[in-house]
Amino acid sequence: MYRTLIVDDEPEIRMGLKLKVDWDRLNATAAGEASNGAEALDFMDNEPIDIMIADMNMPVMNGVELLEACRGRFPGVKVIVLTGYEDFHYAKAAVKNRARDFLLKPVTQDELMVVMERVISELDEERKEQREQAVVQWRLSQYFKDMKEHFISRIVREEPERERDLIERAGHFELETWHEKQVRFVTAGLRERSAAYDGSAGRTPDKFRLPFELLCREFAETYPAPVRPQVFRDDHYPGLLHFILEDAGDEVASFTAALRSCIAERLAFEPLIGIGQPVAGFKRWKEGCISSLLDWNMSESGKMKAKDQADPKPVLTEDTAKLIQRQLLRGELDAFRQTLHNELADAFGASQARFVKLIAHLYFLLDSLAQTAGVPLSGGEQLWIRPDTVLALDTVQKAEAFLLRLGTKIYRDQADAEDPDNSVIENARQFIEQHYMYDLNLGMLAEKFSYNRSYFSELFKAKVGTSFIQYVTDVRMEKATRLLKETKLGLWDIAELTGFSNPSYFSSKFKRMYGVSPSEYRNANSDKG
């Protein structure tokens, strides 16, 4: 609502002006009154005001002095001047001080409403422009880019939320139309093992990861529209960069050829590029990304190309993935071994391509669990940089033994901790830090870590010192204060980006926690800046 301050030395006139305005229809409110200019300035020092209706002939500080002070201290306030016929000379001063309009006393209801509607229409346009500028600045900020990549990473690493909510949230990152497109994922990285690198001279791939990433990002950001891809990095796979391109014509082939040429020319290294299978809809982005990683992993050996991955049937169902996770968290290693054996045997009997794909899917699942649990995997256990290891797992027994070893390590490293509950709660806190903008609830986390809901609630409070709900709120508020200080986004955007259901709830929680409204907090911090 637009906040209006009425300034006149006569209480009856102030009351009359309030009664003459249909505040609800204008989406405005009479926020306060003042009997002279000095009182008006004091009020505006403590309360935000959008419109001021001010008489020109007042004691202590008249309207001319008030307008001059407002022009310097509150340039955004729209001023409507009231003056008597005998004081019409004030109109010149009002124009000089950029008053929006002036009215002769006595003011009729129709006259006042016409002027108020005109002023509010201007404010609407200004706010719309400010919102658009804020969104532009937000989309140019590094914080936006980081959150956008996190959003994409969550889609490709986890089972996404409801599709409708996902599409709505994608709008914050200019991705809503990508849900409708058929896309391909492209994974690029430098060859980790090749005789072409002269390690003795210091030219090894690991030393070129940063320039490689910067070069890939620059290439993607300057690639001609409308083919310009989305680009993101997954911290789980250092040295790799992923691109999402619309699968139209030969655009993917053209992009990868140009990217390969650019990297070879600028870094004098031949990149390794994997191209995934075409997928459509956010729900299938995970499958598309894994197929791209798999093609990158296999392409050096030449044993399996992208065309060999063409079977669209998922090799690992969501239910099986959840079953494996539960078995490892509970230490049910025999059941885990049996699940691995059954899945691997079925895939092996189907085709070699499906068998290799399943090994990759199972590895990526275990790698994600290892990351969540803080269990480091050694170089020999990291399939994403060891194509030779994948090819060596050419029987059900070999693949089962390798994956069982990884799963056992994840479970035992957690179980060997001094207090397993500490590890679980720390993992839960990390999960909240990474997913605060999404719908989080205690039951979901209790199920994720295979705990009884009531016990998990008590455990969380005992280990963290605060309730689950309060902890999530604290994390979200910390992120919200950063957005208030570093961006000009409106409360709707900030509330949604930090996981609050609506801006009203966000504002009330914010004021309860910090003692000021989000707008007051932003104004105070912008003044300090």
pLDDT, averaged in runs of 10, over the chain (529 residues): 91 93 92 91 89 85 82 85 65 56 82 92 87 71 82 77 77 86 92 51 69 91 83 82 90 92 88 90 87 76 50 75 85 92 92 82 81 65 56 86 88 65 82 84 83 90 91 92 86 86 85 89 70
State the CATH number of the domain containing residue 524: 1.10.10.60
The Cβ-side half-sphere exposure at 347, using a 13 Å CA radius, reads: 30
List, in sequence order, every residue forming a beta bridge with 102; answer none if it has no partner: 81
What's the pLDDT at 321? 86
Domain closes at, from 119, 135, 151 = 135
How many whole angstroms separate alpha carbon 138 and alpha carbon 126? 18
Based on the domain organization, do 168 and 304 belong to the same domain?
A: yes
List, in sequence order, every residue forming a beta bridge with 274; answer none if it has no partner: 187
Based on the domain organization, do 290 and 189 belong to the same domain?
A: yes
Q: In this structure, what token pair is assigned to residue 102?
A: 């002036």
Q: Is 465 left (phi over 0), alpha (psi -120 to 50) or beta?
A: left
What's the pLDDT at 95? 52
What's the pLDDT at 60? 82
Based on the domain organization, do 339 and 211 belong to the same domain?
A: no
Based on the domain organization, do 252 and 384 belong to the same domain?
A: no
Q: Are 384 and 237 in contact (CB under 8 A)?
A: yes
Domain closes at, from 271, 289, 309 = 309
Domain closes at, from 401, 416, 431 = 416
State the CATH number of the domain containing residue 217: 3.30.70.270
Q: Are 457 and 469 in contact (CB under 8 A)?
A: no
State the CATH number of the domain containing residue 97: 3.40.50.2300
Based on the domain organization, do 209 and 301 belong to the same domain?
A: yes
Which amino acid, 529? Answer: G
Based on the domain organization, do 149 and 246 belong to the same domain?
A: yes
Q: What is the extent of the structural domain holding 213? A: 141-309
Based on the domain organization, do 409 and 393 belong to the same domain?
A: yes
SS3 of 142-198: the string is: HHHHHHHHHHHHHHHHCCCCCHHHHHHHHHHHCCHHHHHCEEEEEEEEECCCCCCCC
- Domains identified in the chain, total number: 4
Based on the domain organization, do 210 and 282 belong to the same domain?
A: yes
How many whole angstroms separate alpha carbon 449 and alpha carbon 429? 12
Based on the domain organization, do 197 and 331 belong to the same domain?
A: no
- Between the alpha carbon of residue 429 and those of residues 286, 434, 441, the distances in Å are 24, 9, 13
- Between the alpha carbon of residue 444 and those of residues 97, 421, 449, 453, 458, the distances in Å are 59, 17, 9, 9, 15
Q: Is the peptide bond before 226 cis (omega within 30 degrees of 0)?
A: yes
pTM of the model: 0.60
Based on the domain organization, do 386 and 245 belong to the same domain?
A: no
Name the DSSP letter for residue 108. Answer: P
Based on the domain organization, do 235 and 343 belong to the same domain?
A: no
What's the pLDDT at 338? 95
Based on the domain organization, do 470 and 325 belong to the same domain?
A: no
How many whole angstroms separate alpha carbon 315 and alpha carbon 308? 14
